Chains A and B, each alone.
Chain A
Amino acid sequence: AQRVTQPEKLLSVFKGAPVELKCNYSYSGSPELFWYVQYSRQRLQLLLRHISRESIKGFTADLNKGETSFHLKKPFAQEEDSAMYYCAPPMNYGGSQGNLIFGKGTKLSVKP
């Protein structure tokens, strides 16, 4: 089945260190993937999307077709980045039938 996979359940880094949250996908072509974030006691919300080629809160994510990856990266982690991060599949991909199955999530903990 087509899906996104997050291999790490927990990632712990020190403030100022680079961080990379891994996401691999099994869709063909150039899927429009997303990263969502859930800060403590806040709603799950969109962080960034592939199509926008944007940098949000210092985070970027590049689609690597060769490695079928969409890893989320930030060069210098901050304590306020501590949150749960979810890689999300394409919203309207042919054959998905709307069953949007997110990655299992990676909990990022940034220590002072």
Chain B
Amino acid sequence: GAGVSQSPSNKVTEKGKDVELRCDPISGHTALYWYRQRLGQGLEFLIYFQGNSAPDKSGLPSDRFSAERTGESVSTLTIQRTQQEDSAVYLCASSWRGSREEKLFFGSGTQLSVL
């Protein structure tokens, strides 16, 4: 595709429900990142994948959050038993980890609203 694609673009859910957010990175990009952006706040790093592996999951806010990546491509961020404080825009970015001057390409995000 032309860029990083995220789906859905908007998700409204009830407190306590599980949600899955999807990210399709740019083809060939080996690195994939998830960030959270609360209203009026900066970027909060969640997790990073190199290939299908996530070397460090310490950025995930709680054990209700999990993420996986398959085929060195699509990644899914799952939030179980959603809470109102999970409401935010969830951003995905990808890059090719080949050099120090590489850049991140961001998706347009998933706006999650937990009622």
Contact = CB atoms under 8 A, between A and B. Distances in A.
A49 B56 contact: no
A49 to B, nearest CB: 6
Interface in A6-36: 32, 34, 36
Contact of B97 (A44, A91, A101, A103): A91
B106 interface: yes
Given A44-B91, A98-B56, A105-B42, A91 B103 contact: yes
B71 interface: no
If over half of B's interface residues share one DSSP class (helix, strand or loop), that class is named, otherwise mixed; here it is loop
Nearest to A98: B48
Interface residues of B, number: 28
A79 B106 CA distance: 24
Interface residues of A, number: 25
Given A43-B106, A104-B42, A105-B43, A51 B48 contact: no
Nearest to B31: A98
30 contacts: A32-B101, A43-B3, A43-B108, A44-B43, A44-B93, A44-B106, A46-B103, A49-B101, A51-B101, A86-B42, A90-B100, A91-B95, A91-B100, A91-B101, A91-B102, A92-B97, A92-B102, A97-B56, A98-B31, A98-B33, A98-B48, A98-B50, A100-B45, A100-B48, A102-B42, A102-B43, A103-B42, A104-B41, A104-B43, A105-B43
